[in-house]
Structure 1
Amino acid sequence: MVIKKGITFFVVSCWFIVILSRVRCRNMSSSEYTDQQWRLLHTNIGLSAMHMQLLHNNKVVMFDRTDFGPSNLSLPPGRCRFDPNDTALKIDCTAHSLLYDVATNTIRPLMVQTDTWCSSGALLPDGTLLQTGGYNDGDRAIRQLTPCNNDECDWIESPGYLSAKRWYATNQILPDGRVIILGGRREFSYEFYPRGSSSNSFWLNFLRETRDNDENNLYPFLHLLPDGNLFIFANTRSISFDYVHNRVVREFPPITGGEPRNYPSSGSSVLLPLQLFDENRGTGTPAEVLICGGAPAGSFSQAGRGRFIRACSTCGRLKVTDHDPKWIMEEMPMARVMGDMLLLPTGDVIIINGACYGTAGWENARDPVTKPVIYRTYESANNQRFSVMQPSPTPRLYHSTAVLLPDGRILVGGSNPHPIYRFTGAEYPTDLSLESFSPPYLAREHAETRPTIVATGEVLKYGELLTVDFTVQEYQSATALSVTIVAPSFTTHSVAMNQRLVVLRVADVSHISAHRYQLKAHGPPSATIAPSGYYLLFVVHAGIPSSAVWVKIQ
């Protein structure tokens, strides 16, 4: 009875809307930095970036949906989309997808035919973006975009490939190079790409069990664990799942407090950095999951009645490899729903975008949270986990996105809380701008300790040594060095699919000449630690990361 009362008080405290909490969402200023920078890259890219993926040629794919009418970006002359199933336009000569070139800050329109609304994605081992599901004529489609350095590559689509409708599903690349596509609206199953000899979906009762009136198990959080199983979180519950034998290995305790965290409550989740301390670490590597933000149960239905409930301000951290794992709860500086959580090259986590009140869905949120927060994965000297950053001038609400760039910046776009593009007569108009955020490690004062990679191999093989040459003006010591590899995320609806950071084991560091040094680092031991594909490799010196180089793990 005491436990039930405690949980009830926790939930009720998250429900109450009080003036003090609204002030807290807007004006929280403790531990703020003053040396980071927002930069407006484009005032209008022509579409709202609902989905985002960085490719290994340093271009970012962005796309919206196809069924709301014309975008503000034209297709090349003579190209139009003909879709008799479209609910808005049967003939559409505007683009709903584009490629953003990071180096030149330019865009190129792409042609997508089937409806990509609320779809999912993953990078295949060769760097091709596999994009799955969506709405209407896109709910069973797959689409592929292979990176190129000319103006010829575009989407290749296969309508009807999937065996079930995958709207609000989640993707995860697997150790064998396949992609698992899990869940979706009223779809309590999963399937694989490529489908092999069977095109059938496989039932997962956990998804049915976790569905409630608000369907808070859409876009389930999905992480590949070092033992090869999957961590799946839906609503308030989570499991370790053996997809090979279609069985639940173990169920973890429900997240403390009982607030749902998946769409439309829309918290966010990361698998914290996997650290490889010695050559014997593999499937025994410790693994922790961090889940932050969300909205209390009932928020979606209440928002439909014009009552916007304060979002949750808690983060839950669970070491899933423990014998008896328990959630450790922490308090963010402000409440946040629809935030995007991204792993930084240092191993810390940035939480960006979102709102303080309401939930995901059309017109369902109020009071944008424009200040990013950085969460220190490893405890700091003063034991402060969170630092509040400078605010963006741009609210980023429903259908906003963010991805990590090779130079360490965060690319931010999107925000359209309306079923169509609305630029006037709305409290939060549709936003077509693109901006970047520079975390504190990019401040000028760190220029002398920032390393620069000058040479490295392009292929990183499992268990073998990789040589990296780098320069740094003020070298401290070998103990101040680390090497991290980051799998870029497919980001949409506060879910950063396939995001992964591995801290490699440094075997040796030598001084070559002047300010030039060479290190040797062991590649990950197996594909369960780091599935094959392209990764961003950073050298981190005294907490300051270099710009990344791309390496292919195989």
Structure 2
Amino acid sequence: MNAPAVLGFANAQYHDYVINRPEYKAEYGHWQTFVLPAEFRVNAIHASLLRTGKVLIIAGSGNDQRSFDAGSFKSVLWDPARNTYKLVPTPADMFCGGHTALPDGRLLVAGGTQRYEALDGAVKKAAGTMRVRNENPDAARTFPKGTVFTAPNGREYVSTAEVTVPAAVKTGGGDRTVVKASEQHVFVEAVAQGTGYVDNSPAQYAIKGLSGAEARNLYGMADRMTLEKQDFQGIRAAFEFNPDTELYERVTDMAYARWYPTLTGLGDGRVVTVSGLDDTGQILSGNDNEIYDPADKNWSKAPDRYFPTYPSIFLTASGKLFYSGSNAGYGPADKGREPGLWDLKDNSFQQVPGLRDPALTETSSSVLLPPAQAQKVMVLGGGGVGESPLSTARTDIADLSAAKPVFAPGPDLPAGGTRYLNSVILPDDTVFTTGGSSDYRGKHKSDLLKAQVYHPDTNTFTTAAEPTVGRDYHSEALLLPDGRVVVLGSNPLFADKADTEPGTFEQRIEIYTPPYLFHGERPQLTDAPAAARLGTTVTVKSPRPDGVVTAKLVRPSSVTHATDVEQRSVALDVGARSDGGVALTLPGNPNLLPPGWYMLFVTDGSGTPSVARWIKVTP
């Protein structure tokens, strides 16, 4: 009876009517869009869920040169449960750094931005990499930012960062003493503008202010000084964010500066850190990987292996690391793109063949499919290297439990070729995917207002409600403890189809409520232990223990650039049910269930999850 009146509405009104019907929500879910108060709006580059249930949104300078020049670096702590916000003092530009949760619930944040890129034609001062050498075996030497290096022709170049050069290495003795100079690099630029400072010949540079033996032992070497394009440059700084004090705490710097690195937690609680652009704008060569130990907050060398920037590297049940081939941003098309299993013990690398469209893995999404025990990793979408307009609808799945893993085809993405897709594991053992664009950074107004759910059990996608906000570069999505999904960010190049109007950073936040939360009463967890050891059995409380069908521990997300290597859902064995209690047994393998804080969900027979309880998993 209402149909004639409904059909008389404008299209937008009718659409709003349809998507808000209970039947529609129960099948496709529902989106809500909201805007933070002005003082808390930031360019969301990174988002991490903390054990307090709050979301740390890191902007740093937010891909805004003016904010960088002003030293304005921002982080916001958002409490989705109470919808409250708090600005967090941000001590360095963490824009495009890396991050991961530590076993005690702190968040390790490493790397960020030392300098913004300067494109061809925009470079006014000749610049280049200065290799600072030390031939003195008795002492290291630190040179502050602003140190002047003088060329043989008298031209002067100034360092853009502090640099410490270790003491030279002395071997042998007596007549057979050999001293090998140590070396550390730093970026320098001319003291003035103009082509007169361009020098394409290798040369040795004197360090201003040194004389005598110091001047002979300490000097710079540079291959050339140019006005060519300069890439972003990374920083060495590392911090732990403390969820109790809600402050960043400085820890030991990395040995190498990093911009666009990946941090992956290991089964022993340490973190391996790979790739990134260094403090001269060059991609790290692979002999500079590092491991962070939260016990002493120091870094040590990791095995050598080259990867393009922001590589998707997952910890597997064997303890090996799986590189899916997904990456973001920087690195040659013909190096470090092959997926494979990396063994840190002997530095071996077993290639995993079969990935289709192997040239279209940049800006793709990768996810360790639920449950983690299946040891399957899915690669979704992606595009060509750099500013390529190409994208793919391909999804492929690698079964890492096989003796010789290979990729097998999955279903194509329903929206077609997609870059920057965000993928989120849900507590019903499905994967929610949303957003992205078909072209580089949403060019030609190519954002895809589509979302879908992947079902590992049937290897199929089903349609989800459509978002209303486009999301491409610099967007992220993560699961909340109440079972909803929050989606943030987006940094399109242009705002119109003709690519004539500059784009603006998307600061609206969306929350997606999956269909399972519209299926009636959800199961409850009224009590659970605050901590549990690997391999042990714990008892949780529920008013209807017989209704608890599955239980899983979901690791909180820490996501940026469509890269989230930490999220995983680990199934627990559901055992005896007593009056108000359910016995749950944890796996004993720390490589399957790395130590740290997890969201404990239980679900009923229809897949409806409880609100999560936080539990700390210990060795």
Same-fold status (TM-score > 0.5): yes
CA RMSD in angstroms, aligned pairs only: 2.7
1:289 to 368, 377, 383: 377
The CA deviation string for residues 430-474 of structure 1, in whole angstroms up to 9 with x for no partner, is 21111210111111xx223x20111111112111111111135xx
Indicate yes or no: 2:27 matched with 1:59: no
| 198-207 or 489-498: bigger deviation | 198-207
Equivalent in the alignment of 1:7: none
Indicate yes or no: 2:268 matched with 1:176: yes
1:447 to 488, 495, 520: 520
Equivalent in the alignment of 1:50: 45
1:272 to 366, 369, 372: 369
Whether contact under 8 Å (1:32, 1:389) holds in the other structure is no
Aligned equivalents of 1:197, 1:125: Cα separation in 2: 13
1:224 to 305, 312, 315: 315
Whether contact under 8 Å (2:292, 2:300) holds in the other structure is no
Structure 2 SS opposite 1:453: coil
Whether contact under 8 Å (1:41, 1:105) holds in the other structure is no
1:191 to 268, 273, 290: 290
Equivalent in the alignment of 2:512: 437
1:144 to 227, 240, 247: 240
Equivalent in the alignment of 2:304: 204
Indicate yes or no: 2:366 matched with 1:373: no
Structure 1 pair 109–388 and aligned structure 2 pair: CA distance change class (3 A): same
Aligned equivalents of 2:112, 2:43: Cα separation in 1: 16
Aligned equivalents of 2:395, 2:473: Cα separation in 1: 20
Whether contact under 8 Å (2:324, 2:377) holds in the other structure is no
Q: Comparing both chains, which one has the higher relative contact order based on Cα–Cα distances under 8 Å and sequence gaps of 6 or more?
A: 1
Aligned equivalents of 2:478, 2:549: Cα separation in 1: 25
The CA deviation string for residues 359-390 of structure 1, in whole angstroms up to 9 with x for no partner, is x5xx75741112211100111xxxx6101212
Aligned equivalents of 1:375, 1:101: Cα separation in 2: 28
Equivalent in the alignment of 2:358: 258
Deviation at 1:69, TM superposition (A): 5.2
Residue identity in the other structure for 2:275: G
Deviation at 1:108, TM superposition (A): 0.5
Structure 1 pair 534–372 and aligned structure 2 pair: CA distance change class (3 A): same
Aligned equivalents of 2:589, 2:88: Cα separation in 1: 36
Residue identity in the other structure for 1:231: F
2:467 to 376, 392, 416: 392
Equivalent in the alignment of 1:280: none
Residue identity in the other structure for 1:553: V
Aligned equivalents of 1:161, 1:365: Cα separation in 2: 41
Structure 1 SS opposite 2:516: helix
Equivalent in the alignment of 2:142: none
2:590 to 502, 527, 533: 527
Structure 1 pair 128–197 and aligned structure 2 pair: CA distance change class (3 A): closer
Whether contact under 8 Å (2:535, 2:585) holds in the other structure is yes
Whether contact under 8 Å (1:116, 1:133) holds in the other structure is yes
Structure 1 pair 37–199 and aligned structure 2 pair: CA distance change class (3 A): closer
Whether contact under 8 Å (1:32, 1:387) holds in the other structure is no
Whether contact under 8 Å (1:289, 1:318) holds in the other structure is yes
Residue identity in the other structure for 1:246: N
Structure 2 SS opposite 1:441: helix
Whether contact under 8 Å (1:221, 1:269) holds in the other structure is yes
Whether contact under 8 Å (1:53, 1:490) holds in the other structure is yes
Structure 2: tracts of 5 or more residues without a match: 1-23, 116-233, 278-282, 327-336
Deviation at 1:200, TM superposition (A): 5.3
Structure 1 pair 132–251 and aligned structure 2 pair: CA distance change class (3 A): same
Equivalent in the alignment of 1:10: none
| Residues 489-500 of structure 1 aligned to structure 2 (within 5 Å) | 489-500=557-568
Deviation at 1:247, TM superposition (A): 2.8
Deviation at 1:427, TM superposition (A): 6.3
Structure 2 SS opposite 1:131: strand
Aligned equivalents of 2:405, 2:51: Cα separation in 1: 36
Equivalent in the alignment of 2:612: 548
1:68 to 64, 69, 74: 64
The normalised TM-score by structure 1 is 0.76
Deviation at 1:157, TM superposition (A): 3.0
The CA deviation string for residues 75-125 of structure 1, in whole angstroms up to 9 with x for no partner, is xxxxxxxxxxx5x215x4xx5111001221111001112221211101111
The CA deviation string for residues 491-532 of structure 1, in whole angstroms up to 9 with x for no partner, is 10000131111001112123x2xxxx4210101212111111
Structure 1: tracts of 5 or more residues without a match: 1-30, 72-85, 208-216, 276-284, 303-307
Residue identity in the other structure for 1:374: V
Deviation at 1:42, TM superposition (A): 2.4
Equivalent in the alignment of 1:503: 571
* Count of aligned pairs between the two proteins: 450
Structure 1 pair 157–388 and aligned structure 2 pair: CA distance change class (3 A): same
Whether contact under 8 Å (2:112, 2:260) holds in the other structure is yes
Aligned equivalents of 1:532, 1:326: Cα separation in 2: 29
Whether contact under 8 Å (1:168, 1:183) holds in the other structure is yes
Aligned equivalents of 1:400, 1:169: Cα separation in 2: 17
Aligned equivalents of 2:321, 2:492: Cα separation in 1: 32
Deviation at 1:350, TM superposition (A): 1.0
Structure 1 pair 69–346 and aligned structure 2 pair: CA distance change class (3 A): same
Residue identity in the other structure for 2:456: T
Indicate yes or no: 2:164 matched with 1:164: no
Identity of aligned residues (%): 27
1:36 to 29, 52, 74: 29
Structure 1 pair 139–366 and aligned structure 2 pair: CA distance change class (3 A): farther
Equivalent in the alignment of 2:78: 100
Whether contact under 8 Å (1:413, 1:435) holds in the other structure is yes
Equivalent in the alignment of 1:23: none
Whether contact under 8 Å (2:273, 2:290) holds in the other structure is yes
Structure 1 pair 428–438 and aligned structure 2 pair: CA distance change class (3 A): farther
Residue identity in the other structure for 2:455: R
Whether contact under 8 Å (1:338, 1:353) holds in the other structure is yes
